[in-house]
């Protein structure tokens, strides 16, 4: 009877090793949409900057948007020249930066899930081997 109890314990342990993989995937799924969320927010801030560039005090209005514009604010300030073209250029640059960030985040998530999976398999196999001795 004790043999079946030990077998059940090892089976539960092995199941937990795979649960860790699922949790790694779950956590990765929270990180994956972050670049897209930032891109959508930055698009809205650039739209507001475009409207502000045609307002009465564009320098102050765009400066007030700095927290939402983040790194894009440096590309737009000081105000001058063809602001429509500068905002369009920054929009393209921002999309390229966040597209690259999304690619890197996806790659890292895949690596994390793969490494945790292989580690879980190796650990589970080692525990089952130890149980057979």
Gap between the Cα atoms of 51 and 96, Å rounded: 23
Q: Dump pLDDT digits (tens) for 116-129.
A: 888 877 887 787 78
Domain residue ranges of the chain, discontinuous segments joined by +: 2-132
Residue 51 confidence (pLDDT) above 90: yes
pLDDT the model gives residue 1: 45
98 and 39 in contact (C-beta within 8 Å)?
Answer: yes
pTM: 0.71
Gap between the Cα atoms of 98 and 95, Å rounded: 5
> Count of alpha carbons within 13 Å of 1, Cβ hemisphere only?
0
**E strand or H helix at 16, and its extent?**
helix 2-31
Gap between the Cα atoms of 74 and 49, Å rounded: 12
Nearest alpha carbon to residue 16 among 121, 129, 132 = 121
Which residue in this structure is represented by tokens 């580690």? 119
Q: Dump pLDDT digits (tens) for 52-99.
A: 999 999 999 999 999 999 989 999 999 999 999 999 999 999 999 999
- What's the whole-number average pLDDT of the chain? 86
């Amino acid at each position: 009877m004790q043999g079946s109890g030990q077998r059940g314990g090892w089976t539960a342990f092995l199941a937990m090793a795979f649960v860790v993989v699922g949790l790694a995937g779950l956590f990765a799924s929270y990180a994956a949409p972050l670049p897209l969320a930032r891109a959508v927010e930055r698009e809205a801030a650039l739209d507001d900057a475009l409207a502000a560039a045609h307002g009465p005090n564009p320098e102050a209005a765009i400066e007030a948007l700095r927290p939402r514009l983040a790194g894009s604010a440096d590309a737009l300030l000081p105000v001058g020249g063809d602001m429509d073209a500068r905002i369009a250029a920054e929009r393209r640059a921002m999309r390229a930066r966040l597209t690259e960030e999304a690619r890197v985040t996806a790659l890292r998530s895949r690596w994390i899930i793969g490494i945790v999976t292989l580690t879980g398999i190796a650990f589970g196999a080692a525990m089952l081997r130890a149980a057979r001795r």
